[in-house]
Amino acid sequence: MAERDAEESEQGPELVERVAAIDIAKASGMVCTRVPHEDKPGRRMQRVWHVAATSGTILDLADHLICQGVTRVVMEATSTYWKPFFFLLEARGLGCWLVNARDVKNVPSRPKTDKLDSVWPAKLAERGMLRASFVPPKPVRELRDLTRSRAVLTHEYTRHKQRAEKLLEDAQIKLSSVISDIFGVSGRAMLEALIAGERSPRALADLAHGTIKASPQALQEALAGGFEEHHAFMLRMLLDTVDYLTLQINKLTARITTRLTELSTTPDAPDDDQPGQGMLMPLTDVERLDEIPSVGPATAQVILAEIGTDMSVFPTADHLASWARLSPRTFQSGPKNTSEPAGKGNPWLRGALGEAAVSAARTDTFLGARYRRIVKRRGHLKALVAVARSILVMVWHLMNDPTARYRDLGPDWHTKNLDPARKTRDLVRQLTALGHDVTLTPAGA
């Protein structure tokens, strides 16, 4: 007989007595409540009705659910339409769960109606068959708005700078070929002179500062083009937009810094090696995460805005990596045991971690060595995902312990902790796969 696995599991409640589910649309919601029947023990009473998505109606709904003794309200993550229901009901003290649409997908061959779409999640919720999605507290949600707005404006800032460069190319001005940054001090002075009506290549080249490596002759050749009044009008608009976006990004960065400082300032551990000093200067969470290679202040701000500062939401670092979709999913069917793609996850968090992983891959650190070890056998993309996961694991440990500090293990950590027997076994297996018969002789013999 085949061996059978037996394990103990914690038995949760089989039935949540009083639940409610809301199928949310843009301007309305379909509410379903399931509570014990008043006269028939063991039976359930179900009620379904329609409510408008206005603040007053939602608050009336909250009072009604409280009177019914509802302890759990589940709703699907439908665009941003779920936010008024979730936040107003939560503010009234109701236990709200935001669930993934994939988890509450209706059973096949059942009609698609708003009524059935609210009844089915209610039945799943009362049997404990749903999992709540992570919804951060209000301060973290506001921080998310700030960091995401900054990312969008930064993207627009880059787009407008690229459009300005294309406009210069249209006017046969090859300034970007001889200057690394046409929006620097020298480049900006030349652009302003072009807009003001200066067309002499020599006069424009004389505006270059001493830090420009290009020769005056190269600058004059690059600035000899067909810049006309139309180009001046368009370039003026683009430069004004770039300046405005720069101002807005700086405002957002200042507010993000202030909000993060208000969220948490973590004291450092006492330094026993220095007598008379009981406590070092406190470090903020951003400063501690900044010690990780390739994780700068901006990246640390994005990470904290997406995962929050309270790691009790994620019991272990593996839970956090799985939530961020940085761990492959196991697929096992019969003799087939493979891994599937991890999924999309949080695009803002994955984007920040991806940029940090690309930078870490070029460093002579533990993360850089990890990338170089994995890329040889798994490829570039999977190696970057592995490095991004390692960064997120480090973030969890630093945030879980307010006194923890990052300490790099060094690029030779894997070499120092290499298992000789495992390495020998791997090399023998590789030679055998190439068609060689391998006989090992100890060096002492």
Q: How far apart are CA 317 and CA 335, in angstroms?
A: 30
Dmax (CA) of the chain: 96
CB atoms within 10 A of CB 186: 21
Classify strands 72-76 and 96-99 as parallel, antiparallel or unpaired. parallel
Q: How far apart are CA 22 and CA 88, in angstroms?
A: 13
CB 396 within 8 A of CB 311: yes
- Please state the φ and ψ torsions of residue 98, each to the nearest 5 degrees: -100, 125
Q: How far apart are CA 100 and CA 83, in angstroms?
A: 14
Q: Tell which residue, 295, 250, 262, has the closest CA to residue 150.
A: 250
Q: Collect all residues with Cβ–Cβ distance below 8 Å to 265 and sequence separation of at least 6.
A: 282, 283, 284
Q: How far apart are CA 178 and CA 157, in angstroms?
A: 22
DSSP letter at 256 equals H
Q: How far does Cα 34 stand from its chain's mean position?
A: 36
Q: What is the pLDDT along the chain (445 residues), one digit of tens a residue?
A: 444 444 544 444 557 889 999 999 888 999 999 988 888 887 888 999 999 999 999 999 999 999 989 999 999 888 888 999 999 999 999 999 998 887 777 666 677 788 888 888 888 888 888 888 889 889 999 999 999 999 999 999 999 999 999 999 999 999 989 998 999 999 999 999 999 999 999 999 999 887 888 888 999 999 998 899 999 999 999 999 999 999 999 999 999 999 998 886 444 444 444 433 334 446 788 989 999 999 999 999 999 999 998 899 999 999 999 999 988 777 777 777 777 777 788 899 999 999 999 999 999 999 999 999 999 888 999 999 999 999 999 999 999 998 889 999 888 888 877 778 888 888 889 888 888 888 888 776 5
Beta-bridged to residue 96, according to DSSP, are 73
CB atoms within 10 A of CB 204: 23
**String of DSSP letters for 21-74:** EEEE-SSEEEEEEEEE-SSSTT-EEEEEEEEESSHHHHHHHHHHHHHTT--EEE
Digit-coded pLDDT (tens) for 335-393:
777 777 777 888 999 999 999 999 999 999 999 999 999 998 889 999 999 999 999 99
CB 74 within 8 A of CB 21: yes
The pLDDT of residue 297 is 92
Q: Which two tokens stand for residue 364?
A: 């002579």
Task: Kindly list the distances between the CA atom of residue 356 and the CA atoms of 197, 348, 371, 377, 384, in Å, as whole numbers in the listed order.
Answer: 43, 13, 12, 22, 9
Q: At what angle do helices 138-170 and 229-263 cross, to 10 degrees?
A: 160
Q: How far apart are CA 407 and CA 316, in angstroms?
A: 20
